[in-house]
Structure 1
Amino acid sequence: MTSPPPPRTEPGPRSQHMVICGDDGLAHRLAVELDAVCGEAVTVVLPSGHDEHGAEIAALHRDPDSSVELLVAARPDERTLRAAGVERAAALALTYGDDQVNMTAALVARALNPTVRLVVRMYDRERGRHLERLLDRAAQLCDDAARDMSTTVLSDADTAVPELVAAAAVGHGHTLQVEGKVFRGVVRPAGTPPQPTDLATLAVLSGAHQDDPASQDSAETPGEDGTQLLPDTRTAYHRQFTHGRLLLEEITHHHPTEPAARARRGRARSWLRARLAHLPWRVFLSHQLAAVYGTLAAIVVALSTATALFADEHPWWKNTYLPLLDIFTMGDPATDESVARRVLQLIAGFVGLAILPMVVAATMNATEAFRAASAGHPPDDDVTGHIVLVGLGKVGTRVLVRLHTTGHQVVVIERDPHARGIALARELGVPLILEDATAPGVLDRARVRECGSLLVLTRDDGQNLDIVMAVREQNPAVRVVTRLYDDDFAATVQRTLRASYPDALTRSRSVSALAAPSFAAAMMGRHVLGVMPVERGSLLFTCVDVAGHAELEGRSVHEAFRENEWRVLAVGAAAGPVPSSESDTLAGLRLDRQGFDWRPVQGRVLRSGDRVVLATTRRGLDILMTGVQPHPTGRRG
């Protein structure tokens, strides 16, 4: 029997205390992220302290330099949330794998503390949007709601997809969507003149990896030969002649004209004709089918010959027709005919009993093989430089959407014909191979020898590693990005493969590790629009209100710049929230329409009523948002 919950008390002054409730690797990664930058305690609520992630968090809790507290509870009910300190917490993250658990806990937490900043992990996007509006509306009814109170619904898959795509697409970088406009990071080789679409220099790349902004082999600290994030204008100008640069580029989209639409229809008809030509008709010429039908034909010939020799005389066609009817038990009993005809009819009936099941089985096998083979659409023989995507689950489907949106040529391998992304791949006309990628010949059919990148995103770590090793043997120079659930395993795989193939590019990514920075940023009130990997570091794109930030307010755009820390990309007016149906979204984060100026005058003074889009380093964002210097020695992650 459980004791009644303690009496409800009014929440006191809100601290910077953070609470995390979760049951998998994302909770651990989020604790590591917050522990590295948060100046106050972080409480992690786990259903059990004995599994792998619980042990890792317990080890973090035992670290004398850590502020992480551990609370073991079966479920995040009211008693558990009170014990975790939600009533006075600044933020609460709910990262359970069950949407229903997260939603229930979010409603309880909002009742306990109307001003707590909620970050909720949800797989169902539509349900997440409804929950977001409901909780924000409930909080706005509270008179003492904090200015930065908010509810943010995130999906770990959505937050991880941009970096997976950026790691696979050399030179294209991460895409950013704001106000219906699309931006991306592009690499300009040394000596390339400026382009009209270039907005800002994000990094000057090292000489060793000018073509790869996501490489992790170069020196982390800026120097004459190393990568320098967010350089000043003088440095960017002088080094553009000797080093590659990572620039933010605006992508201009044009609406298709009517001739273009007709051209698309023509391409669709051409694709259909090619599709019919590539159907696997040869499965009906298999050895099994040929043997069964050949045996049936031989039996019919033998019975026809016997009928012509021993039975009554009939026309030649009837000597074949009657045995066929007897084999398929479709003929009338030969009671009025000769003894030889009746004997042959009995023989034909017994032969039919023996051969017909084999005929049916062989035919069904060939039909199933034809259906399975025709469900896919292998790439043409002239396809080169494409991206091979293995796995069309939750993450793989969203990666496919992003790659198709940015114009990349993709070939998909998926063994499950009922996977969630199969219908989308067919709708997009993407070459699709419905077989196990580890089966002999499948990777050759996907033309991995000629591909530019390989993305392996199945849910099986062992299978992912098998595929990567097989591809490495066929194409040692291919760029490989693989998703692994275990973060330590991912790091070990990446080090080993890079040591074995030093000239190749290998990325091993854990989805929880990729998603944790966005969850942590949302807990700290940061509007993170995207993350762009740049060698060992990364750049974050955030939306920040100028009011309350001494480093921004009252300074010009030029003066607000801090080398290697942050740069103002766009300036707009800070306004109140707009209805969700009118707001832009990216990875589950809402961004109100502000009319941003993406080419602000450097002398423009930032006022308290302004909102800016910043490109920042992790350290720069920590300083800007919290004023707390990160730990000099970062923890794992």
Structure 2
Amino acid sequence: MVICGDDALAHRLAAELRDLYRERVTLVVPSAREPLRPRIPPPARGGLGRATALIGRVSAAMARTSPLTPEADPGDDEPPEEALRILEAAEADDTALIAAGVPEAGALALVYDDDEVNIHAALRARRLNPRLRLVIRLYNRKLGQHLEELLDQAAAVAALGTEDAETVDASTTVLSDADTVAPALAATAVAGTSKVIEADGLMLRAVERMPVPPGRPGEPGLCTLALLSASANDPAEVPSPAPGDEGPVLLPDDAATASAEGCGTIVLETVSYTGRPVRPGGLRGRGAPLTSLFSRRLRWSLGGVIGAVLALAIASSLTTGDDPVHAAYLSLLDLFGINDPAIGESPARKVLQLLSGLTGLLLLPVLVAAAFEGLGTFRSASALRRPPRGLTGHVVLLGLGKVGTRVLARLHEMGIPVVCVESDPEARGVALARRLRVPTVLGDVTQEGVLEAAKVDRARTLLALTSEDTTNLEAALYARSVKPRLRVTLRLFDDRFATAVYRTLRAAHPRALTRSRSVSFLAAPAFAGAMMGRQILGAIPVERRVLLVARVEVRGHRALEGRTIAQVLRPGRLRVLAVDTSAPDEPAPNTAAAPPQQSKEREPARLVHELGDDYILRPQDRVLLAATRQGLGDLLARRPHPAGIRQD
């Protein structure tokens, strides 16, 4: 496995592949362009030493958050040093890719922060190795779709005429770390909001439930995904955790779930798809809503003038005996002052003409006011909207970078009121906030008055998603001083720093909920799964740990093929959620030479409770799994793992 990049995602991805999937990894990092701080010892200078130190910290954090099961041998689980090789290269050109072993590699991940650099390297890598499995980090969605088609077509053309053209997995996967983590970050914004995952015709969601008092039955669910630690619940209801508390229990068995009392749970539920609601028409999303184009007083004025014109037209038709259409035409001419004076006409006609002229004088200021109001409305539509005066119960979103922009779009789709705070007027998310008419405050969150302008004292949640840990922490501390019960979600990278912040905020504000999330921590499993040739559908955050939802073919896995669902269950590591049984049975030997029938569209997968724990998995089945990092790594590892899933 080859990884090109030198940011947090690249380091976590390298540690993920080496420690969990037991793969040999080559990390290509750019050479240092400026001297490092003197406190770093000389052997660690340059991009090589920095990457080694960071990967070591990431591996240690992963080891703390993924404890081994009792049957594992901790000494044998340590990956060999030669499993990771770090190569310095100024850019990912042909020389660097060849030196990294791309012509013989199984997969390549390009996770530079520049889309153009990743595209150039992907084109070079596909030319060097048509069988290579490519995973590319791109922020541009449309460009990513076109690039996938282009590189897949190039791989298919290169594989024509080869013997193993049907078995080689030379797929191209374009991922965005912002798109991957946006649902999980948005789900933490509001209590009761769940993480929804769509797979094989099913809509599943993980719901966090508070502890159930003794004697009261809990709400039913498909299965229990995690038992939360005492620190994750409201300390007013649950006693403080013991010093040896190691955090949540992931994928517990039925016995552990039944014996757990006084702790929150995360359960899996199924929801029915009702279709995306149709948004109201008009100028919403592109400018100003039609209801706000003219004020209510102006609309009443226009209605009164139109009513007066209709009354004059009816009176003219009744008094003069003219056709109603002709009478209305004459009334409009009198209204605009372009008709001849009614000299020699009847007194009623003269009176109606005078009244029409007076109505025309009243219409002129109304039309001028309508023009000014419409112009002002469209001007305000092109500007950033200020938070409304009576806004309450909203989400304050700090940072409109790549991650903040995706989270803003997701919150808007969910119908959650949001107020954004951004210091850079040219940030990429400012245009989206303007188009969606989302209230936005431009200013530095560390300055006084900025969070007050965002109505943080009446907010429900604070999402601090800037790229600076200290900025997020400072904003959270100031917001808590204004509103101690405010729910806070921080974007923090360093695990030890996040743990210290979490414990301090919990001790200082015991009645408030605090969550810390790392973008690279949530996105790395999806990139690692794509490099392994499997599709990870989503990640469910459980405090500082993550549950993965993956779709795996049964064929070729001894831990799945020919076993019942109950035998596949590994508490703390692996659980089957649903099985796609729409594929037909294997053909008999005498019909193996028959021409294959036309493939039909797959039916929705069947949940485990519908099949029963005694269902035997067939090779052609496809299963939907919930697994920990270690459990999925053991299942998908191509080499034997000392602490892997037992095959007996």
| TM-score exceeds 0.5 | yes
Tell whether 2:227 aligns with 1:244: no
Secondary structure at the aligned position of 2:428 is classed as coil
Tell whether 2:636 aligns with 1:625: yes
Count of residues in correspondence between the two structures: 499
Rounded to whole Å, the distance in 1 between the matches of 2:295 and 2:242 is 49
Q: CA deviation at 1:218?
A: 6.2
Secondary structure at the aligned position of 1:103 is classed as helix
Q: CA deviation at 1:388?
A: 1.0
Percent identity at matched positions?
47
Secondary structure at the aligned position of 1:134 is classed as helix
Secondary structure at the aligned position of 2:92 is classed as coil
Secondary structure at the aligned position of 1:449 is classed as helix
Q: Is the Cα–Cα contact under 8 Å of residues 498 and 505 in structure 1 kept in the other structure?
A: yes
Change (3 A) 1:65 1:551: closer
Tell whether 2:226 aligns with 1:203: yes
Change (3 A) 1:193 1:406: farther
Secondary structure at the aligned position of 2:458 is classed as coil
Rounded to whole Å, the distance in 1 between the matches of 2:206 and 2:626 is 12
Secondary structure at the aligned position of 1:421 is classed as helix
Secondary structure at the aligned position of 2:548 is classed as strand
Q: CA deviation at 1:630?
A: 8.0
- Other-structure match for 1:601: 611
Residue by residue, what CA displacement relative to the aligned partner does 1:462-486 show, whole Å, maximum 9, x if unpaired?
5434322321221233222233567
Secondary structure at the aligned position of 2:90 is classed as coil
Q: CA deviation at 1:270?
A: 6.1
Residue by residue, what CA displacement relative to the aligned partner does 1:147-203 show, whole Å, maximum 9, x if unpaired?
44422111121223233223434443423233575432112334475668x433212
- Other-structure match for 2:174: 153
- Other-structure match for 1:568: 576
Rounded to whole Å, the distance in 2 between the matches of 1:604 and 1:132 is 37
Tell whether 2:12 aligns with 1:29: yes
Residue by residue, what CA displacement relative to the aligned partner does 1:576-635 show, whole Å, maximum 9, x if unpaired?
xxxxxxxxxxxxxxxx97632245412332111111111111111111111654889xxx
Rounded to whole Å, the distance in 2 between the matches of 1:135 and 1:408 is 39
Rounded to whole Å, the distance in 1 between the matches of 2:544 and 2:143 is 36
Letter in 2 for 1:88: E
Gapped regions of structure 2 (runs ≥ 5): 37-45, 57-77, 299-375, 584-600
Q: CA deviation at 1:371?
A: 6.5
Rounded to whole Å, the distance in 2 between the matches of 1:275 and 1:517 is 53
Structure 1 residues 457-606: aligned runs within 5 Å: 457-484=465-492, 493-494=501-502, 497-498=505-506, 500-501=508-509, 504-572=512-580, 595-598=604-607, 600-602=610-612, 603-606=614-617
Moved more, 143-152 or 153-162: 143-152
Tell whether 2:461 aligns with 1:453: yes
Q: Is the Cα–Cα contact under 8 Å of residues 197 and 537 in structure 2 kept in the other structure?
A: yes
Rounded to whole Å, the distance in 2 between the matches of 1:517 and 1:457 is 20
Secondary structure at the aligned position of 2:630 is classed as helix
Tell whether 2:356 aligns with 1:377: no
Rounded to whole Å, the distance in 2 between the matches of 1:275 and 1:487 is 54
Q: Is the Cα–Cα contact under 8 Å of residues 488 and 515 in structure 2 kept in the other structure?
A: yes
Letter in 1 for 2:196: T
Rounded to whole Å, the distance in 1 between the matches of 2:507 and 2:516 is 14
Tell whether 2:185 aligns with 1:164: yes
Rounded to whole Å, the distance in 2 between the matches of 1:41 and 1:242 is 44
Structure 1 residues 57-72: aligned runs within 5 Å: 57-59=51-53, 65-66=80-81, 67-72=83-88
Rounded to whole Å, the distance in 2 between the matches of 1:498 and 1:469 is 12
Secondary structure at the aligned position of 2:605 is classed as coil
Residue by residue, what CA displacement relative to the aligned partner does 1:96-135 show, whole Å, maximum 9, x if unpaired?
1222221222222222222222111112111111121222
Q: Is the Cα–Cα contact under 8 Å of residues 28 and 53 in structure 1 kept in the other structure?
A: no
Rounded to whole Å, the distance in 2 between the matches of 1:37 and 1:459 is 27
Rounded to whole Å, the distance in 1 between the matches of 2:130 and 2:383 is 56
Letter in 1 for 2:199: V
Change (3 A) 1:551 1:180: closer
Change (3 A) 1:421 1:553: same
Rounded to whole Å, the distance in 1 between the matches of 2:133 and 2:243 is 34
Rounded to whole Å, the distance in 1 between the matches of 2:208 and 2:517 is 22
Letter in 2 for 1:155: S
Residue by residue, what CA displacement relative to the aligned partner does 1:502-546 show, whole Å, maximum 9, x if unpaired?
554444444333322222222222311111121343210011111
Q: CA deviation at 1:206?
A: 3.7
Moved more, 106-115 or 425-434: 425-434
Change (3 A) 1:154 1:373: closer
Q: Is the Cα–Cα contact under 8 Å of residues 622 and 630 in structure 1 kept in the other structure?
A: no
Letter in 1 for 2:127: A
Q: CA deviation at 1:34?
A: 2.1
Q: CA deviation at 1:271?
A: 6.6
Tell whether 2:254 aligns with 1:233: yes
Change (3 A) 1:161 1:219: farther
- Other-structure match for 1:361: none
Gapped regions of structure 1 (runs ≥ 5): 1-17, 278-366, 576-591, 633-637
- Other-structure match for 2:31: 48
- Other-structure match for 1:103: 119
Q: Is the Cα–Cα contact under 8 Å of residues 27 and 85 in structure 2 kept in the other structure?
A: yes
Q: CA deviation at 1:222?
A: 9.3
Change (3 A) 1:617 1:512: closer
Q: Is the Cα–Cα contact under 8 Å of residues 219 and 227 in structure 1 kept in the other structure?
A: no
- Other-structure match for 1:613: 624
- The CA RMSD over aligned residues, in Å, is 4.1
